[in-house]
Amino acid sequence: MTSSQTPPPPTRRGVLRGALALGAVATVPAAAGTAHAAGTATPTNPLVHQRADPHIHRHTDRRYYFTATAPEYDRIILRSSHTLAGLATAEEAVIWRRHTTGDMAAHIWAPEIHHINGAWYIYFAAAPADDVWKIRIWVLENKNPNPFRGTWTEKGRLTTAWDTFSLDATTFTHNSDRYLAWAQHEPGMDNNTGVFLSRMANPWTLTGPQVRLTTPEYAWERIGFKVNEGPSAIRRNGRLFMTYSASATDANYCLGLLTADENADLLAPGNWKKSPVPVFTSNDTTAQYGPGHNSFTVAEDGRTDVIVYHARQYKEITGDPLHDPNRHTRIQRLRWKPDGTPDFGVPVADGPVRILGGRP
């Protein structure tokens, strides 16, 4: 998410406090996401200010559903629009708030919204009020067809092989199997987190082996903190590609890339090829710094791939980067090289961003 970069306690402390809302119910605002329903407008970056770790899901109703980390780390928000540009002005609903005591009371990070077997699920990270770096993965469920309505039920903690720092869960299907990818500290490893993969028995339960796909090994993955986190998968051109974020959440934050053949056993780590260089990094020319924790979606034509990520507009940060709120949600077209691999380019400059049509 935002940061597996916390060294193990006790080097960082601080209790976040907020209002209790168990399985909060929220109704969709009448105006949410309707401003651009009649046509496709040109998005402008930043798309959504002060929203990190962005996740955009395009549903079968042809609407986009957006969630992200709020800088207060205290709630889960949701927006919806018929267009990507419309997410900028769509009314924002709070569909869940952290607890005031006990589990799920601090560091509400990196929510992702998915629709699975007729229900909505949100995966997110949270920590107890009395141990705010004991961060683990949690799951919410809503069976209403409209995720702004109904009740978000707490399905509980998603249990992994170790009871250690874990976060940034994402899910995808491949060859009829559902998988979860996430970041976690593996006992005995000299890092903060690596990226792991497992099949799922249901949307809140893992089954079978849990394998490590990548650990920070290159210098560019170990600046500030030894981090691989925030995985996101996209399948194209006979291959499955998985991005992940590396290093501290300042200007050193960047994307790495794993690649597997679409017919390979995804749970065999040797079937994944890791890029020895980062694929998406800070850029002085466009004045974008720390691009990372991405997701993928498609444009309104249903075909053109879009990368969704956060970045800051300046390099120098005073104090802990986790206390700087200005990681803004950004989008741009994801292009493809002649060899079928993704061409991330550079994080584009602020301003209108052309998704459909010619460059950029």
Q: Which residues are known catalytic residues?
A: 53, 229
Radius of gyration of the chain (CA): 19
Cα angle 205-211-217, degrees, rounded to a multiple of 5: 135
Please say whether the beta carbons of 80 and 93 come within 8 A. no
Strand order from edge to edge, sheet including 75-81: 52-58, 64-69, 75-81, 93-97
CB atoms within 10 A of CB 174: 15
CB atoms within 10 A of CB 242: 24
The Cα 52–Cα 70 span in angstroms is 7
The Cα 16–Cα 177 span in angstroms is 38
Q: Which residue has the tokens 């969630």?
A: 67
Q: What is the residue-wise DSSP string for 107-152? A: EEEEEEEEEETTEEEEEEEEE-TT-TT--EEEEEEE-SSSTTSS--
Contacts of 57 (CB under 8 A, 6+ apart): 64, 65, 112, 113, 114, 115, 297
Give the pair of three-digit tokens for residue 281: 């990094």
Cα angle 197-212-154, degrees, rounded to a multiple of 5: 40
Q: How many CA atoms lie within 13 A of 21 on its CB side?
A: 16
Cα angle 155-159-165, degrees, rounded to a multiple of 5: 115
